[in-house]
Chains A and B, each alone.
Chain A
């Protein structure tokens, strides 16, 4: 779960990390008032879950209250890559001497937390990593022991942090590590952490991503969720306990298991790509596949008007294919889809399942033996319908 910049920075503040004393606004009037209270130069920053907001005109420096209001009117309601900006952060302008990068993330390969830092902050870390990997200092943390004092010194020394700032930097790094651990973050990033003209450190921009699987023990952070970037169909699926991700193709896929769901998508593309045909979605129905679940999943898939064919690929292990077949027919009668459906059942009781499907004699339902056949039939059905 992504936090907005303002949520990230306010969270940092709770862990003793200095941030600009800005406020959030949803109207130009509020922005004007905040700018007047802060006085001087302010920065108006769009709060939306999308990268590249600066380039899109979502971040503006205002020299006075009038300018602040004018920019707020521009930015509030603007569209950045399909997302509407409903909130802005109004920060006092910072006196920036130098920009530093500091982040803590889960290193999945090492199975440990990783601190990454660089005196060349401000830019995109992935770009920096590609172009000058040596400019990044990396330190792994023992997940049981946590961040140790000597590691703070290692990092400050290795990255070339001016000695006069070691104390301040150490306090920020410890705070950020506590924030990362106590918030169950996948990523806690300050970019940039600036050295001000007055010789202080200040977290000017921040990004925190919380591990979805840890939200059960993070009630305060869960309440901060802004799901405005989530599609309605994806929200419905999430609430029904189905994993659904909308894609751009024409073949709706309903599969049990994540790995097999990806594979089924791949097969539609393998056989359809030459004709511009591919998967319309990722969907993992999970174990069981009861009629209710199948019906809900079918409705979600069909809510995408690009879908010209639905491909079922169910491998029955513990699940029995005859039960799944009955579930599909019940769901079919309930939803009455007007696109063709290809059904491929394999595994436990597959012959019985296929018999149930064929005996139902529904004109736009086709039965397939192998995944290869199923994918080819779905591609052919889309071609015919086009």
Chain B
């Protein structure tokens, strides 16, 4: 087992005829993901690598019975694409797009909750269940199947840690990139809860960063409800307050969201916190 996606997931790619969407759809198929089609308004009836392209999500879902969608459309169209996917009844929507206005995301998150759709992202690398399926841009070479679940706000840092684990002989149940934006669909706690309930996951690595309080809330959950060991790393110890470090959400604002307070909370909750992400495999063994 795994969480969120596996080899039986039927995936639609919104923006499959775009450069990014097409490139990653192909890599996903090569990995073994069951990509059943794509959606680009105005290009319905065309084909992409032998998969049908539809004008609307409603039509695509009716025809393919997809349960997962990957949103790769540009920022100004992304909110609409996510809501269209939720409206079409998808179980899971994963959005890679960066630079979406926060006001759009507040409406989208609220709408997805109403529709019962789980949203991952935006501004995230996606989800990968090694050996089964990947939905997003996580490179195939960073992970092998195993029993450590990974949840992270960042892309390349996740690859780095996944790769370090692989080199240490540690594999992953599922890797979930939740994204570095201020308002996101799924937070650390929800993913931790899924890992806690997943029989294949025995340990968890949490990769957080400065800004907001999601890691503090996660620490409370780890303390109160988690039976599986957690190793963590928090990026941004050396970041000055008031400066946005690349990710829209990575800012220490009004004295809140510093790496120190997150590290303290996680340590107090019993998580092992690495000062250096290359120590994570050691903390897990």
Contact = CB atoms under 8 A, between A and B. Distances in A.
Contacts, number: 162
Interface of B: 27, 75-76, 99-107, 109-111, 137-139, 141-142, 152-160, 163, 180, 182-183, 207, 209-210, 212-214, 217, 233, 235-240, 243-250, 254-255, 259, 275-278
Interface string A101-114: 00000101101110
Given A213-B102, A265-B238, A317-B137, A347 B163 contact: yes
A210 to B, nearest CB: 10
A318 B137 contact: yes
A267 B276 CA distance: 7
A282 B137 CA distance: 23
Interface in A215-244: 216-217, 243
A315 B157 CA distance: 8
A279 to B, nearest CB: 6
Given A111-B105, A371-B276, 11 more contacts: A106-B182, A109-B213, A216-B75, A258-B250, A259-B154, A259-B180, A259-B209, A259-B246, A261-B245, A278-B238, A347-B141
B76 A317 contact: no
A259 B236 CA distance: 8
Contacts of A267: 276
A111 B138 contact: no
Contact of A372 (B76, B137, B278): B278
Nearest to B164: A370
Nearest to A348: B141
A214 B103 contact: yes
Interface in A188-218: 211-214, 216-217
B107 A143 contact: yes
Contact of A186 (B102, B217, B238): B102
Contacts of B247: 258-259
B139 A348 contact: yes
Central interface residue in B160, B209, B239, by most chain A CB within 10 Å? B160
B56 to A, nearest CB: 22
A158 B124 CA distance: 40
A257 B156 contact: yes
Contact of A346 (B27, B153, B163, B245): B163
A370 B168 CA distance: 13
A259 B141 contact: no
Contacts of A214: 101-104
